[in-house]
Structures are given as C-alpha cells and as structure tokens.
Amino acid sequence: MINSLGINKPKKDTKIVVAMSGGVDSSVVAGLMKEEGYDVTGITLKLYDDSKKSKEGRQCCAGQDIMDAKRVSEQLNINHQILFYQKKFKNEVIDSFIDSYTAGETPIPCVQCNQTVKFRDLFKFAKNLKADALITGHYVTRIQKNGSANMYRAKDTNRDQSYFLFSTSQEQLDYLRFPLGEIEKSETRSIAKKLNLNVAEKPDSQDICFVPNGDYASVIRKFKPESFKPGKILNLNRKEIGKHDGIINYTIGQRKGIKLAHEEPLYVVNIDASNNSIIVGPKESLVIKKIKLRNLNILGSIKNFENKTKIKVRSTGKLLDAKVKIQNNFAEVEILDQETGISPGQACVFYTEDEIGDKVLGGGWIHSTLNENLSP
C-alpha cells in the first residue's frame, strides 16, 4: 500500500528524517509526520559558533534554535539528534562566501549550504540511518511524474523557496519530501498552534545565519581584513570621479554609500576586483540583457529548453522570459524582459510552465554579465 509520502510501506514502518532548524516550518513538518503515524527522527545541524551573535538578529541554526528544535522533539516524543558540522560549514560555505565577496561578486550562501551540508551531507546521514525519506520545511512542491520526482514553485508564491534549491540533484529530489509546498504560510502557523508547539509565534529567520544583522563587511573584516583596501570610483567612461573604502562595501545595484555629489542618483554598475575599482552610473545603466552561467544543475531533459523558458535571477525577483543556450556545464542566457542589477555570484534558476504550474528545470551560477553601457 502506497502511503502519503508515496512509499510502499505502512506508515508505522516508514522511517523518515526531518531536518529541524528550530523554526515553525520544520517543527510543523515534524508534528504532521508524527501525527500521521510515521517513525520520525529529527536532525538539527550546528553550523557555526554563535556565542557572539547579536541578540537582535534573526538567523537560523543558532543556539536558541537548536534548543527550540530539541524542545519540540521532546514535546512530539520523537528521536532527536544534533550534528556538529561547524568545520564543514566554515570550509564550504563561509570561506566560499568570503572569496566570492572579495572577488566583487554577490554570493548566496543559503544555496551553497543547501548544496553541501544540508542536502549532500544530511542526505548521506539519513541514508546511513536507513531512512526512507528526508523531509524538510521548504516551501516548494514535489510531484511524482513519469517515474521521477519533479520540483515546482510552491502554492504560496510569496514563500516559494525553489530558487534556493535549484542545485538539488535528481537523486536527492527523489529522496526528499516537502509537505508545506501545497499550503500557505498562515496555515502553517495555524497548524503549529493546533499542535501547541512553543514555536507557533516564533519570527521567521531573516538574516544569513553567520552574518549578524546583515553586516557582511564585519564577517569579511574578521576573516580577511586585508580586503578593506581603498580604490577608485569610475564613471561609465572609466574616468575617476572619486574614491571608495573597499569594494566589499558595495554590491551591484547599490545606491547608498557612494558619497558623490552628482546631478542624478548614481548606482554601482560594475565591480572590477582585479583593479580594485567600482564603476557607477545612472539607474538605466543597470539593465542587463545577457548573462553567462557556470556549474549548471539540470533537472530533466535538455529538450525542455526548446520550449519557452523563464528565469529568476534573485530570490524575490519576478519570472523573466529568456532564451537559454546550454553547452556542457555552461549556459548563455538572453533576457527578453528588462531586468537591472544582476551580479556575478548570484544564481539564475530555470522554469517552464506546464499543466501543473511552474516547473524547476535547474539553474546555474552567474559567471559574468554583458552590460552594453560600459566602456571596454
């Protein structure tokens, strides 16, 4: 008999691992699975040293979150384990974040975290426990179709997290389950209250877990203080018009902090890390029409790209019409809609619309952008 997770076992004999961050979403998932009668083990990852974390920050995977996950597990009467992955996280996420930022890119460490310690390493751990599935509280929809699992944008598009999961492999997707993909966030909180979970009113995490209060510069100053090197601010014609106090203080599309008197607002259009300079211009100079991607992850057949393709270049951005040309592990993308402020280091995620919804086709990392407003 096929159970609600699509596994041919009675629920009581189906062993599952729930990734528990200590937030309301993963706690509700654990509660729902326990209520349905599955054999549930909660796993919480200790990813970084949060002893000096700002009390005002709202991050995931912090000390308080670990205690919340433990309390929820005790309340639900499920097994709970803590995995200490600080070294893995430092080597594969924090170091990559710092290297990317100092190279003038805009990294997305949450994707790197999903790609490495959360899915790759936790996936392996769950398999070693002989678990039948790994369950998370992500807002994405997983649908079994033609013998394999497919990923779609969540019903609650304001909460959709498919952008952060583009690097999920087919093997991982077949093993993963996302019970919250078909419900609204407000319903999740209602379920938490019905289950009397102590995290029912807990605020969602807002910051990158190892970046207190969104202060990226403080993290880089701690690990790579030599990155704060003053340099030139150039206009679109590469003429010097001012000085900056370190390229890591700027991201493409930024307006604040340029500190130049000008007749119109100036934005960071490009960051030239090799020459330690930033290039600024008016808002219209931020428009990007072509981007190049590296390190692709493709879900499904390459033939999917023969149809109309949509992309997202930021997690909160809209779906854009695009033409995608794939060559091995690289891709060239022509953006047919208008979009501004695209930066190397960000992800570009592919979608196609079918009879079910917006299906995720994978994605890649933005390696370079073509800005026709810049002088060579």
Query: Domain spans of the chain?
Result: 11-137+178-213, 228-285, 287-370
Of the candidates 60, 61, 110, 209, the residue annotated as catalytic is: 209
Amino acid at position 180, single letter? L
CATH class, 228-285 region = mainly beta
Among this protein's residues, is 61 annotated catalytic? no
Q: 3-state class of 133 per DSSP?
A: strand
Backbone angles phi, psi at 35, to 5 degrees: -65, -35
Q: What is the DSSP letter of 324?
A: E
- What is the reported pTM? 0.92
Q: How far is CA 147 from CA 12, 132, 136, 300, in A?
A: 25, 17, 22, 12
Catalytic residue among 60, 61, 110, 113: 113
The CATH topology of domain 287-370 is Elongation Factor Tu (Ef-tu); domain 3 (2.40.30)
β-sheet with 176-177: strand ranges across: 79-84, 39-46, 15-19, 133-135, 176-177
Please tell me the predicted confidence (pLDDT) of residue 189: 96
Query: For the chain, what is the total number of helices (H) and then of strands (E)?
Result: 9, 17
Token output for 269: 């259009």
Q: What is the DSSP string of 187-199?
A: HHHHHHHHTT-TT
Q: 46 and 89 in contact (C-beta within 8 Å)?
A: no
Are residues 277 and 232 in contact, defined by beta-carbon separation less than 8 angstroms? Answer: yes
164 to 102, 140, 168, 363: CA distances (angstroms): 22, 10, 9, 10
Please return the burial class of 26, using the count of CB atoms within 10 Å of its CB with bins 0-12, 13-18 and 19+: buried
In the prediction, which pLDDT does 55 show? 44
CA angle, 26 as apex, 184 and 1 as ends, to 5°? Answer: 85
**Ordered mean pLDDT values, 10 residues apiece, the chain (376 residues):** 94 97 96 98 88 48 84 97 93 91 90 89 95 98 91 95 96 97 96 95 80 79 84 95 92 89 91 94 94 96 88 94 95 94 95 95 96 80
The CATH superfamily holding the domain 11-137+178-213 is HUPs (3.40.50.620)
CA dihedral of residues 222, 224, 230, 234 (deg, nearest 10): -110
pLDDT at 327: 92
Q: What angle do CA 167, 28, 40 make, to 5 degrees?
A: 80
Whether residue 369 contacts residue 293, with contact meaning beta carbons closer than 8 Å, is answered with: no
Strands 79-84 and 39-46: parallel
The answer to whether residue 348 is catalytic is no
Burial class (CB in 10 A: 0-12, 13-18, 19+), 223: middle
| String of DSSP letters for 261-300 | --SS--EEEEEEGGGTEEEEE-GGGGB--EEEEEEEEE-S
Q: How many residues does the chain have?
A: 376
Can you tell me the distance from the alpha carbon of 48 to that of 62, in angstroms, rounded to the nearest whole number?
8
Instruction: Give the pLDDT score at 64.
Output: 87
Q: Report which residue type is found at 162.
A: S
Distance between CA atoms of 43 and 131, rounded to whole angstroms?
A: 12
